[in-house]
Structure formats: C-alpha cells, structure tokens
Structure 1
C-alpha cells in the first residue's frame, strides 16, 4: 500500500518555478520550463538554481524530509515539533557590537561561564522550534544563560577562557555601536559569537551572507549536494513498484547508518566535557580521547594541521568525537566542497556530501541525474544511463544503435549535430561531417583533405607542412602571402 501511495504521488512539479527568468542566459531564455524528465529547463538547458526562483521554503522542506524518522538527534532535537521535522535554515540575523569596540577582559575580572551549548541567547532562525525535545533525543546538558549583551572578540580571536570553557565577558555599554549581519544559514549553536567566528573561518567567497557570492554558493550546493530525487521517490521519473521499494530501503539504510549534522564546539570545551564525564553535544556521550590529548585542541582530521586554541571546530557524531575538523576543512571527500549546512554522510571512515554518497552506493543516470535502482542500464562514454535515457540532448531521440556525437559531454544525434553544432569549412564552405577529419586553427576550420587544406596562393597541399593563417586564408610562405594579400 505504501508503494502504491508513492507511485500516485510521483510528479516532477512542472508548475514550480515556471516562467522564471534565467540568471545565466538572461533574455535568451523564454523562462523556466521543466524538461519532462531531465532536471533542466527545456528552453535554455540550465538548472532550476540558475533561474530567479525563491528556493528557501523548498530547501527547508527538503532538509526536513531528509531528517524525517531518523535516530540522529542533534538537529532534530532543536527543530522537531510534535514528531514532525521542520527546518528553517535561512535569513538568520545576528547582532553584535562593532568589532572595532570589542575587547576581552583579563582573567581577574568577574565573568559568567557560558559553554557554546547553552540554551539561552541562542542563534535560531525565524520560526525554529523551541519546544520540548522529542522522545528519541537525549537531554541537553544544563547550563547558565548568558547576559543579553556581551563583549565579542577582536579581529580573529574568540574568547580564550581561564576555565577552557568560555571567555570572561562583561556587558557592553549602551552607546557602543551594534552591527547586524543576515546570513542565509548559521550553525545552530547557542553562543552567537562562536557561530560568527565559525563563518569567519570559511573562505570569504563561501560565507553565506545574504546577497553575496557566498549565499549563491550555498544555494547551488544545497541543490547539488542534496538532490531531492536521491531521497524522495515521488521526485523521480517513472519508477516501477520494485524500484520504489529498493529506493525506500536505500533511504532507510543511510538514515540509520550514515546521515548526520556537524556540531560546532571549542575543542578545549570538548576536552573538559570528556574529562568531566558529561554528555557531549546534544547529550551524546564522548569517548575517551575526545578533543585530542589532554586539554589540547588536537589536529584536524582533514588537513592534519593543529587546531588553534579558542577557535571553533566541527565534530561529527558518526565519526566519533575523537575527530575534529577546521570549519573550512569539513568537506566532501569526493568533490572537496564545503558540506552545505554541515549535513554529511559518513561511510567507511570517509565524509561525503549526499550526492557523492549516493554515487558510492548506486550508479547515477547521466541523463536524468537520478540513482539507478534497476538491474538493467547501459554504460556509454564512461557514464551510466537508464536504457530509456540514452537520448539526444537536443531532441530526446533514443540513440541505441544510432550514430551520435558527444558535444559538451552530452550525446547528440547526427541531425541535431549537423543543425546546431557542425562547423563550416573555410575553403569549400560546406559543413564538416562529424565523421570527417578536420583541421582547426582559432575560429577557422578546414576539411583535412588536399582540396581544402591548401595554400591560398600556390594551391600546395599543407597536410603535415608548416603554414601561415591570416583572415581565414592559408599560406605556405611569406611570398605567397604577399601575392595574395596586398
């Protein structure tokens, strides 16, 4: 019955984003129109993310669906309401005193100890749940609230505490200027200074500040790393009941064994937690050796370079809390890109994004971009294809047994190639057939035959000879050039 429901739900959502302008092609695209089974626009061949479509709500739904019915507690404990996962990963505004006025007090000053896992002064996106923890989540450690106004750190430092847990903080005077920054996403930690410092440690072009290159990067990575059709059978094209069942089993397996979200924490705090025998992030027990030897920050699992005291690190529950990463090093082992919103898939001691975890488990169709759950598929040009999807990229003509040409890594039938891609010979002005040999020089092309690739002065064949090219003409020598072009 469940499989039948999935079959009935299947849709490619052709109405969503319809008519949206292409940010890449501009006026050349008539507006977004989803291809029948490819995940691209029929008009310009660009993806949905290249079009002017507001994706925030769709991304939130996708991530909520991804973590539905999971045993993973860290993110769900913060965002789950009445047993239904929700996700609000966008438009997080953080207000802090201007960095120019920031300062740290000496150890003798009075302070309030505030671990990053504190439940007050939290950085939460609009609408995020603050209700009760779901039944499968472990209790959060008890901490003291932080004062509403605190002094942030200056330049590239975060609070370095006497207790190795938090800095000595004092209220900031009322006349100190405040600075608000809106992020598309920020790590869901209670200490907003730690969240901001985490983002500052990312490459500038990848920081998710609203309206910047970094925000666009996050949006693109959300679509690329977490494709909906890797987790939801209803987003796939024409799966049969057996394929739906196999996909559901695949999704269930990675939710139980691989899926997780990174935790941001100070290594010295993690070492303190471990030494004290308390629960780690989200109440998870921390094994001996977490955070490196003793109270030292330890070494990054990715780059093997030491962590700096007082700098936030990323931990992954699936990997064990004896491993940690620099914020900029928490990347997919295949594409080496930042794991969007710290969502990872852990497999055989390696960290993957959703897309490349899927590729490590199943072949992916180069035509529709979906994982292949059928036993029958074809391999061509070093890629995998559903049998029905090895088609011309321009006209969708099935290419089995047909002549085709690879153009921009996409198969194109011969008629479409001749119409849309074939070049003309600069000598005879005829189209160069895809099977024919040709010589190219800059923007000019010739049939690789004596009657075409010859000197424009003396008609000497230039195959295998030195030549000069000027304004589409070929010459064997300076003398022939002078005779032809004054």
Structure 2
C-alpha cells in the first residue's frame, strides 16, 4: 500500500502537485500562502511564493510595488530614504526635505558632507574664507558682517596688532595711550610683571607698577626713608625740600604727631614746642 503524502493543513494529497516545506511539514501552495505569506504594504495583497518578497524594517512589498512614494519609480537595487513611513528615492527626498546650500542654493544631497553654522548649511566646498577663497573645512574661523574668514586672513585684514610684540590680537587685549596690547605684553618697565588688572602709573610714557615707580622715582620719607608715592590720595608733609609720610611727621624726642601743630627744628630734626623750648 502506498504511503499518503498530504498537505499538513488541508490534508489534500500532494502527489503530482507543487508544495512547500515549513518546519519539515509539507503544504500545498494555497495553504502556505494563506498561512505564511506576507502582505504587501502597497497593494495589501499576499506576496505569493512565485513572487519576490522585498522587505524593509519588518515591512514587505511585491517587487513591482516597491517604488518611490513621490515619483513612483522603482526602488529595487537603488538607494532610498523613509519619511513618515513612506519610501522615497534620494532625488525626491533631497528636493523635498534636504537643506539647501546657503552659497550656491543647490540641494545638499544625503550622505554629502556639509557645514552648518547658525541654522544655515553649506556644501563643504562652498563654505570658504571670504578673503583667500579656500575651503574652511574643520579649521577655526571668525564671522564678520555675514562673511567668514579663516583665522590667518582675519588677522591680516582686521585684527589690531600688539604695540609690544607686533602680533595680532585675536581675543581680549587692552588699550593704553590709544595703543593696543596683549594682556601678557603689557608689563611693568621695571620688573616686567603684568600690569593688566593692577594699579600702575607712568613716567616718560613708560608704565610702571607702583613698587617700581616708587623705588625708582619717588622721594624718600625723611622719617622712615621709604618712598612717598603720593598716589591714591596718600597724604604727606613737605618742609624745606624734605618730605614725610603724615604718619612719620613726629617729634624726634617724644614722637608726638606734629601734623597740624607748630614745631621747631634743630639741625635735621623736628621737635614739638615742648621738647624744643630749650633750643
């Protein structure tokens, strides 16, 4: 007796008929397609065993239904993009959704390198220095009046140059006597310490920190011999070409302050009237 060979689902004989295996079980074509065939996203019909099943992200299409949502051209073996669950060829996608180059106004195709700055986009070859016309690429640049400059060109055309080192000042900097300086170049003429943010004074157009200026040019107190700067409202007493800090203008003998009081002199000493009464 001949062994039966039937469809696993409908039990009809498969002898002399086309069939398919699934998990080692045979199915007639009709049962297999109704049970396991994928439904085409476009026409909503089953994708039969004799047709090619094209899939993308768990979605399926007949080969003839796999086309651009916009222009209807076939996407088989062609690059495409997806937008709102629709498949779109790269040309339609670019025309509809891709950004336009701010310079040449042409579409920046997907996958093409582009430059972006303040909400605008450029082809990499269109984003160039306004002075030397070379692509800026990943190099630093400086914007000015809707133009873009590579750093060397900006320095040549616009940047001020330091009075001391003659190099361009690109950030920060200070102005002294209407001349520009790098902060690190504006230093005391005497000790060479930076003066930026510090109190300083000048002599013969040269800048000095207070310590150097006092040590070099200020008169010395006749009392403590330290320099009298007279800066910042500091008070001092002057008498016969000699000067004292107000705190040092005291009686030589009793050390009482003589500021605003009468006094006597004996040789180079100053005395209060009481200590000098025997002179």
Greater strand fraction, Structure 1 or Structure 2: 2
Higher relative contact order, structure no. (Cα contacts within 8 Å, ≥ 6 residues apart)? 1
TM-score by length of 1: 0.21
Larger radius of gyration: 2
